[in-house]
Amino acid sequence: FEAMAPVTISPRYHNILFLPENSTYFYPTSKGIQKMDYIHNSAEKQPEYREYDPTAAWSGLVGNKSRAGLVCLFTYPTIQSLYDWFGDVKAPIATMEWFSNPITIEAGKSFRNSWYILPFEGLTEIQEVTSEIVCGLKAPVNPRAGQSMDISFQVFPAIKGLAQVTYQVRRLPEERY
């Protein structure tokens, strides 16, 4: 977009992205990873989801049966909110959308933005995304102090090549950090 005069825009990125099966959508927020279920070909209207406090520049989905999925990776500093519409009886589709904060473009200047779709398979959860990997982590919701627990860590590389994974554990504060 090139401006002939100063202009302020707030881009909305609207994508019809879903799998033809029941799926779980994932969103990074200050309260942790939030999830919403999409019921494909539902006989009832499904809820919409809007997140006004995204903490990272991605949202994604995983097919409940196939374990196929995709993540949209976009520019974080400009992101205002995430939004998904989960269709209705007449439209068995879902959207994956994000809205930008207002961006002012000076006269004679331009605005460019990029975003990516990272397909993957084999994950059951999405916990972290970079331009190179999609990660899933399964752990108990309420672990008990002093007791062992099973944790599953899954990584799907978005690029070909060797990688090194370092696992680190730290105790988070009780309040928002």
d(CA 118, CA 111): 24
132 CB-side CA count, 13 A: 6
pTM: 0.82
Q: Residues 111-144: pLDDT tens digits?
A: 888 888 999 998 889 988 988 888 888 777 787 8
Q: Which residues pair with 7 in a beta bridge?
A: 105
Residues 6+ apart with CB under 8 A from 74: 13, 57, 58, 98, 113, 114, 115, 116
Nearest to 17 by CA among 56, 70, 89: 70
Q: How many C-beta atoms lie closer than 10 Å to residue 68's C-beta?
A: 16
Are the C-beta atoms of 59 and 115 separated by less than 8 Å?
no
Q: What is the distance between the alpha carbons of residues 72 and 83, in angstroms, rounded to a whole number?
A: 12
**Integer Cα distance of 152 and 3 in angstroms:** 49
**Given this model, what pLDDT does residue 2 score?**
73
State pLDDT tens for residues 19-39. Answer: 999 999 999 998 889 999 999
Cα–Cα distance, 17 to 116 (Å, whole number): 13
pLDDT in tens, 32-80: 899 999 998 887 888 899 999 899 989 999 999 999 999 999 887 778 9
What average pLDDT is seen over the chain? 86
